[in-house]
């Protein structure tokens, strides 16, 4: 029966679900909402998580509490059309398995989703590990290790997607279609393993979309590409898909 077939829907978080970069937003919890130069100039390409480890320690040293950080994450606005898309998906949960893959951190992502009332939509939130230390500080560790030359040291989303599909296959779950909603270069990496029956929803004029366009010119990108500037376009596409099935 067609109605029993599931679609796997994968969401990025920063500048996809929320309309800003959540890592950059934590500065709002800092004294005078700014970080010292020695800290903000210590970012190394590909090792952003190490910078965020230092930021969280600095905020802790300055007396910033967990509740202050949570409050920042809770206030980050969702991207245009995203609340409507999520409300639509809430009504169709039997048709989808929905996961989130983010190079931000579990504490921030879950704080945001819970505040907006959409946490229950996701079967799994995959992000860099956070824990509350004895002193009350929030600490951050990379999600995993990998050998991908194109991704940040903390996370290769292609590896995660590939492993997730293998894991679900062992559970006896296969998907009719995989759909990926993202914006960044690290969302392009998993999109190249999508097949001709899958869909890449790439945010217009963001790195994922620009990189896909280059691949399309070479004729090497397999998935159907649906660019979006509002998540209404994602919802409309999915609605049409469900109408046909």
**12 assigned ligand-binding residue:** yes
- Which one of 14, 37, 68, 232 is the catalytic residue? 14
CB neighbour burial string for 208-244, b if at least 16 within 10 angstroms, e if fewer = bbebbeebeeeeebbbbbbbbebbebbbbbbeeeeee
178-181: long-range pairs with CB below 8 Å, 24+: 178/7, 178/8, 178/10, 179/7, 179/8, 179/9, 179/10, 179/238, 180/10, 180/223, 181/9, 181/10, 181/11, 181/12, 181/16, 181/228, 181/231, 181/234
**232 assigned ligand-binding residue:** no
168-171: long-range pairs with CB below 8 Å, 24+: 168/8, 168/97
**198 assigned ligand-binding residue:** no
- Which one of 12, 37, 187, 232 is the catalytic residue? 12
Active site residue 12: yes
**103 assigned ligand-binding residue:** yes
**187 assigned ligand-binding residue:** no
Binding residues for substrate: 23, 103
List, as residue ranges, the binding site.
Answer: 12, 14, 23, 103, 183
Supply the residues annotated as catalytic: 12, 14
Instruction: Mark the binding-site residues for Mg(2+), compressed into ranges.
Output: 12, 14, 183
């Amino acid at each position: 029966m067609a109605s029993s077939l599931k679609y796997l829907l994968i969401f990025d978080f920063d500048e996809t679900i929320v309309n800003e970069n959540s890592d950059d937003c934590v500065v709002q919890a800092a004294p005078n909402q700014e970080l010292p130069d020695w800290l903000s100039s210590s970012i190394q390409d590909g090792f952003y998580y190490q910078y965020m480890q230092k930021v969280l320690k600095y905020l802790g040293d300055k007396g910033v509490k967990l509740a202050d950080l949570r409050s920042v994450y809770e206030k980050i606005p969702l991207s245009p059309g995203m609340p409507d898309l999520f409300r639509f998906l809430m009504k169709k949960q039997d048709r989808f398995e929905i996961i989130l893959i983010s190079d931000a951190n579990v504490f921030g992502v879950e704080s945001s989703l819970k505040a907006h009332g959409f946490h229950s939509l996701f079967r799994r939130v995959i992000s860099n590990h956070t824990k509350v230390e004895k002193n009350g500080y929030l600490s951050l560790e990379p999600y995993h290790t990998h050998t991908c030359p194109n991704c940040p040291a903390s996370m290769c989303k292609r590896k995660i997607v590939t492993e997730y599909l293998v894991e679900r296959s062992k559970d006896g779950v296969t998907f009719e279609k995989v759909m990926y909603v993202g914006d960044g270069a690290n969302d392009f990496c998993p999109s190249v393993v999508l097949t001709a029956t899958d869909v890449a929803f790439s945010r217009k004029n963001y790195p994922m979309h620009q990189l896909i366009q280059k691949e399309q010119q070479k004729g090497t990108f397999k998935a159907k590409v649906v660019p979006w500037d509002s998540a209404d376009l994602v919802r409309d596409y999915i609605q049409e898909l469900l109408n046909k099935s």
